[in-house]
Amino acid sequence: AGMVSPLRIAREAAAASGSGKSKFLHEFLTWRGLAYAHCYHFPMPATGATLAQLPSWAQETLRRHASDPRRRIPREQLAAGHSGDNAWDGMQRYLVETGELHNNARMGWGKAVASWAASPDDALQLLLELNNRFALDGHAPPSYGGLLGCLGLFEGPAQAEGRVLGRVAFKPPKPKYAALPSVAHLLGASSPKGAGPGAPSVPVGRVREVRLLPCGDAAEEHRAGAEPRKRRWTAKLRPGQGACIDVA
């Protein structure tokens, strides 16, 4: 095993085709680059990120709501995916089994964890522990960028002020992860014939289709043909036209 140059990945992705190309390049070039730039210009201690890396408005609102009543869930209960929230538990199971959560999905996963922690400092430490324990990109700048993003980095303050997180916007966990079959089932179904009796199979019809669709003016043309059921996210930082995720 070895390392693959990010320059090679960027070149090959740019030359590829497929509906996920624009979204992948946006995450890879924009958000990955932003996380590296943040970690370079705002060095953190060897122990990891601290709340000092957050913008002042986020630090202030989290401190102001530090004494808000909240539901507290023990660390190991969260690590085992037993929060009681089916959507979050599905995301945690996926993270444990694959070592990966999509950057957008990690936002909902992390904001929920922050709302269940005893304090803002404990929220960040809990996020670091869970992510660095299970994620393949643990301890890397994209991880720190994503985890701090759950607490307000790269965001502006929300208009509405909520309990626990204050003006840090809350995103609920994505329920589609709870509907995904386990990776063990997927591996069993993809194993060669003769792999042995009792190999698990993938439940049919449980995985929904995810497509990348145009936004803005092009989205109007798309809607004239078929209305997407749900538009999960819009890319706002890429120059030119954005893209939407349609979960069918």
Tell me the per-residue pLDDT of 126-142, one tens digit each, with 9 for 90 and over: 999 999 999 998 999 99
Can you tell me the distance from the alpha carbon of 51 to that of 44, in angstroms, rounded to the nearest whole number? 10
On the 0-12 / 13-18 / 19+ scale of CB atoms within 10 A, 60 is: middle
The distance from CA 186 to its chain's CA centroid, rounded to whole angstroms, is 21
In CATH terms, the superfamily for domain 49-177 is: DNA Cyclobutane Dipyrimidine Photolyase, subunit A, domain 3 (1.10.579.10)
More confident residue, 50 or 199: 50
**So where are the chain's domains?**
1-41, 49-177
pLDDT in tens, 107-126: 999 999 999 999 999 999 99
pTM, two decimals, is: 0.71
What average pLDDT does the segment 177-195 reach? 62
CA distance 110 to 151: 8
Phi and psi torsions of 189, nearest 5°: -70, -30
| Identity at 199, one-letter amino acid code | A
Distance CA 17, CA 180 (A): 26
Residue 167: its pLDDT value, please? 97
Burial of 16 from C-beta contacts in 10 A (0-12 / 13-18 / 19+): exposed
CA dihedral 16, 22, 28, 30 (to 10 degrees): 140
Listed residue (69, 70, 73, 98) closest to 84, CA to CA: 73
pLDDT in tens, 34-57: 999 999 999 988 888 999 999 999
What percentage of the chain carries pLDDT values higher than 70?
Answer: 73
